[in-house]
């Protein structure tokens, strides 16, 4: 299981793949079924769709 928070290294956030189990610092956790990364001028937004539990968003 990969622990995710806003302080997580960018390398770790980019390494998450479909099928990995992730856990957010607020307790939300599950298996990743889809990933979307949006790159803006100064920040990246990482959207991880979790099986049966919604979406985890990390802005870095």
Consecutive H or E run containing 15: helix 10-15
Domains in the chain, ordered, with CATH?
2-59 (2.30.30)
Q: In the 8-state DSSP scheme, what is residue 17?
A: -
Closest to 18 measured CA to CA, from 32, 38, 3:
32
% residues pLDDT > 90 (the chain): 80
Please give the model's pTM, rounded to 2 decimal places: 0.89
For residues 60 and 44, is the Cβ–Cβ distance under 8 A?
yes
> Could you read off the pLDDT of 19-39 as tens digits, one per residue?
999 999 888 999 999 999 999
């Amino acid at each position: 299981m990969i622990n995710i928070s806003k302080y997580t290294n960018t390398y770790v956030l980019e390494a998450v793949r479909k099928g990995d189990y992730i856990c957010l610092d607020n307790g939300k956790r599950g298996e990743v079924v889809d990933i979307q990364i949006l790159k803006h001028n100064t920040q990246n937004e990482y959207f991880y769709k979790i099986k049966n539990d919604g979406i985890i968003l990390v802005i870095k």
